[in-house]
A and B are shown apart, each in its own frame.
Chain A
């Protein structure tokens, strides 16, 4: 069965620190990859997506992610986090089933 793993369940950082959140998926075929963010009390928003082409994808708010096919990974990065980045981050994939499968989420807390 297709699945998405996010190994960092809770990450605590100080402002200006660099961020990398891991995401691995299990599926041997073609995948489309997404990172969503859920700020406290707000709806899920798309940060970035990868369908094909350049494996380094830039999204909103200074986030980027790199698709490494050989590692089945799509890690999210930001060089310098801000307090306003405090949120829950979900990696998600779609495959040939057209269903959006979410990872378990990573809670990021950024302290000033």
Chain B
């Protein structure tokens, strides 16, 4: 299984809602990532987990809260988002965190904040 799956595919939420994005991989990878991609822009790194511990937080606002319950799962909890947070949220995984590791990307969750 060489897939990274993400749910839901689409999410519409109001600014006062709380929602979660989920990501799963069964490749035995020990590093998992969250990226944000705005339309016609490259993905921007948000968070990196290595061996289920948060290793990189790219100064992301606290309304985004990542969680790695186990080595196969990665969540992104959303609360009090702003309309400018509307974007495609991509999850990725790699065998390890080092720079030689190829990252495998999921299809993304398209988030719209009203």
| Residues A42 and B107 in contact, CB atoms below 8 Å apart | yes
**Residues of chain B contacted by A100 (CB below 8 angstroms):** 33, 45, 103
- Is B105 a contact of A45 with CB atoms below 8 Å? yes
Chain B residues with CB under 8 A of A44:
43, 90, 92, 105
Q: How far is the CA of A29 from the CA of B100 in the complex (A)?
A: 14
Given contacts A42-B107, A44-B90, A98-B97, contact A34 B43 (CB under 8 A): no
Q: Is the interface on chain B under 10, 10 to 19, 20 to 34, or 35 or more residues?
A: 20 to 34
Q: Which of A46, A94, A102, A105 contacts B40 (CB 8 A)?
A: A105
Of the residues B56, B100, B105, B108, contact of A32 by C-beta under 8 Å: B100
A4 to chain B, nearest CB (A): 8
Q: Which chain B residues border A70 with CB–CB below 8 Å?
A: none
Which residues of B have CB within 8 Å of A34? 102
Which 4 residue pairs are nearest across A and B when measured between Cβ atoms? A102-B42, A94-B99, A44-B105, A43-B107
Residues of B within 8 A of A (CB): 4, 33, 40-45, 48, 56, 90, 92, 97-100, 102-108
B-binding residues in A (CB < 8 A): 32, 34, 36, 42-46, 49, 51, 90, 94-100, 102-105, 107
